[in-house]
Amino acid sequence: MLLTTAIDYTNGAPHIGHAYEKIFADVLARYIRLRGDECYFLTGVDQHGQKVQQTAEAEGIHPATFAAKKTKLFLNLWKKTGVDYDGWAETTDDRHKACVQQILTSLREKGELYKKGYKGHYSVRQEQFLTDRDRNEDGSFGPEWGEVVEIEEENWYFRLSAHAAWLKNYVSSREDSVIPAFRRNELLGAVDRAGEQDLCISRPKERLRWGIEIPFDPEFVTYVWFDALINYVSFAGYLAADDAGLPDFDKLWPADGSPTPLHIIGKDILVPAHGIYWLCMLHAMGFPDEQLPRLLVHGWWNIRGEKMSKSLGNVVDPDQLADRFGPDAVRYYLARDIVTGKDSDFDPERLVMLYNQELANELGNLCNRALNMTGRFCGGVVTTTHEPEAQDTALRESLAKATADYREAMDRFDPSAALKAINDHVTHCNGYAERNKPWELAKDAAKKARLETVLAHMVESLAHLTVLLSPVLPEPAARLAHQLRMDNLLSLKLDDLAWGLIPDGHATGKPKPVFPRIVIEEE
């Protein structure tokens, strides 16, 4: 299955919203593979457009140099935070340019494009013409549009309106066209916009040079969104030569009823970019409905209820955050503290609190106790042959429930609920240890069998939890597997998670803290 994210603008540095989306996608990709399914994870950067040209000009450098410099920041961040993609999309890539140009040529041949003159208001910031719908009640254009200028020029247009009726029917009839459901309703409320006017897909070179040339009219470049959206097919091998080093398109965009691509995007780019332009573009390109992608829409991270913005000076830098608290704490927090589709407030104090409480204290404590006592009291050897008591059966049931809940949550793209399911079992295990007190059992030789059973249940739980945690925290999971002397855990699939992963007589390793507590120095 193809899993994509939005490609990030290279007109600035990555912020926490970019990091969330890529980490979210990385978690899902790893989970899909854990479930035993194939997943091709594509992400990248959106390097063209007016903003990049303008910011580069302000710095006195070529837009290509500027975009390459910013691209590096994204590449470094994904490396630092363990975002492990299979395909990397850069819109300046020649293979992408060739694909965009072939699509433009073929759409023109089909009569989907035409040229006309137009006079109207244009938002420099949003790089688009504005309509009366974009005006405030008093007739003015709001600050979100930035500088608005009146221009008159000829351009190429895509017959968006010709696809409006189809779009409405498609979105209303396909339940998983947009996930979650309330975001689909949002699109349904806006689909009529597609019928209002056609989409301007070119910019004259005298105004914007930093884009992909229109192949049949070299005085124009392609509108940045038209270019960027195509990354989802160009880097999946659409219209590519066999030796282009790109994947097999038919496999990633199947039309045979198997899961279609999943585009992970933020709420701001559902309407009109993905929900209207992209779906209509694909339809115009001749894609049948069964082949169309699903749009998985996430909410935004805000700061105390307010949008993050450069002007408010409240933008959170994920790179600094990872340096300060460690990449694991950042991954955990971003996966844990947001409900998919909804907004959340970014709060570094919650990051520290959730990490310290759920990982350093609860899970860390369980690891430490289970491995430490197995080492001290049983020579590191796990014995699994004694009859379980009611408490042991209850622990096994708790684990089975946690695994089922985790699976159900991940299948509906909700890592936060999946992590809560994991934590429920961790809490159960720590309670089990408190009730059974293996440290007391160890003092009485007659209770050896009971001691071994209790520790075996804790160690077995740890093995399962390691696997379940691996999509969110792959590195700590590898360290846990290693301490358990069960490196093979990380090649298991979800269906392999039945009781009895740890064989009788297995020797575990020594515990080393996997989740060191974050200590904040008083400022």
- When binding is defined by CB under 6 A, the residue of 167, 178, 208, 265 that contacts ligand MSP is 265
> Are the C-beta atoms of residues 263 and 296 closer than 8 Å to each other?
yes
Burial of 5 (C-beta count, 10 Å sphere; 0-12/13-18/19+)? buried
Rounded distance, CA 224 to CA 241, Å?
Answer: 24
d(CA 334, CA 45): 21
Q: Is 25 in the site for ligand MSP (CB under 6 A)?
A: no
Which are the contacts of 396, defined by CB distance < 8 A and separation ≥ 6? Answer: 388, 457, 499
At closest approach, how far in Å is the CB of 126 from ligand MSP? 11
Decide if residue 21 touches ligand MSP (CB under 6 A): yes
Q: Which of residues 7 and 27 has its CB atom nearest to ligand MSP in the complex? A: 7
State both tokens at 48: 């063209």
Q: Does 9 bind ligand MSP (CB under 6 A)?
A: yes
What is the β-pairing status of strands 220-222 and 202-204? Answer: antiparallel
CB of 312 to ligand MSP, least distance (A): 12
Question: Of the listed pieces 15-23, 123-131, 149-157, 411-419, which binds ligand MSP according to CB under 6 A?
Answer: 15-23
Cβ proximity to ligand MSP, 228 vs 252, nearer residue? 228
Contact with ligand MSP (CB under 6 A) among 25, 99, 164, 229? 229
> CB under 6 A: which stretch of 18-26, 144-152, 392-400, 501-509 binds ligand MSP?
18-26
Q: Give the C-alpha separation, 15 to 301, whole Å.
A: 10
Is 8 one of the binding residues for ligand MSP (CB under 6 A)?
A: yes
| Piece of the chain touching ligand MSP by CB under 6 A; list 14-22, 131-139, 188-196, 419-427 | 14-22
Which among 56-64, 140-148, 228-236, 361-369 is the span making contact with ligand MSP, rule CB under 6 A?
Answer: 228-236
Q: Which residues, 6+ apart, have CB-to-CB distance to 499 below 8 Å?
A: 396, 399, 460
Q: Which is nearer to ligand MSP, 278 or 515 (CB)?
A: 278
244: exposed, middle or buried (Cβ count in 10 Å: 0-12, 13-18, 19+): middle
Termini Cα distance of the chain: 48
Nearer to ligand MSP among residue 296 and residue 363 (C-beta): 296
Restricting to residues 275-304, which ones interact with ligand MSP according to CB under 6 A?
300-301
Cβ burial 292-329 (10 Å sphere, 16+ → b, else e): bbbbbbbbbbebeeeebeeeeeeeebbbebbeebbbbb
> What distance in Å separates the CA atoms of residue 472 and residue 517, rounded to the nearest whole number?
18
Residue 169 CB contacts under 8 Å (≥ 6 apart), including other chains: none
Q: Is 18 in the site for ligand MSP (CB under 6 A)?
A: yes
Structure token digits, residue 378 = 């049983």
46 binds ligand MSP (CB under 6 A): yes
Residue closer to ligand MSP (CB basis): 351 or 399? 351
| 6 lines the binding site for ligand MSP (CB under 6 A) | yes
Q: Please answer whether residues 381 and 503 qualify as being in contact, where contact means their C-beta atoms are separated by less than 8 angstroms.
A: no
90 touches ligand MSP (CB under 6 A): no
In whole angstroms, give the CA distance from residue 334 to residue 353: 13
* Using rule CB under 6 A, residue 432 touches ligand MSP: no
Q: What angle do CA 311, 316, 317 make, to 5 degrees?
A: 115
User: Quick check: 269 binds ligand MSP (CB under 6 A)?
Assistant: yes
Contact with ligand MSP (CB under 6 A) among 61, 68, 162, 308: 308
Give the residue with the Cβ less far from ligand MSP, 7 or 246. Answer: 7
Residues 175-204 binding ligand MSP (CB under 6 A) are none
Q: Is 519 exposed, middle or buried (0-12, 13-18, 19+ CB in 10 A)?
A: exposed
Stretch that binds ligand MSP, among 17-25, 57-65, 376-384, 436-444 (CB under 6 A): 17-25
Cβ proximity to ligand MSP: between 18 and 203 the closer is 18
User: Nearest distance from residue 345's CB to ligand MSP, in Å?
Assistant: 11
Q: How far is the CB of 223 from ligand MSP (least distance, A)?
A: 12
* Total site size for ligand MSP, rule CB under 6 A: 19
Binder of ligand MSP out of 3, 228, 454, 472 (CB under 6 A): 228
Stretch that binds ligand MSP, among 6-14, 67-75, 96-104, 210-218 (CB under 6 A): 6-14
Q: How far is the CB of 303 from ligand MSP (least distance, A)?
A: 9
Among 37, 192, 268, 504, binds ligand MSP (CB under 6 A): 268
Is residue 503 within 8 A of residue 384, CB to CB? The reply is yes
- Please report whether residue 34 would count as binding ligand MSP according to CB under 6 A: no
Angle between helices 448-469 and 415-436 (to 10 degrees): 170
For residue 365, count other CB atoms closer than 10 A to its CB.
16
- Which residue, 43 or 177, is less far from ligand MSP as judged by CB? 43
Using DSSP bridges, classify how beta strands 262-266 and 294-298 pair: parallel, antiparallel or unpaired: parallel
Q: Which sign, positive or negative, has the C-alpha torsion 426, 30, 337, 339?
A: negative
Binding site for ligand MSP (CB under 6 A): 6-9, 17-18, 20-21, 46, 228-229, 231, 265-266, 268-269, 300-301, 308
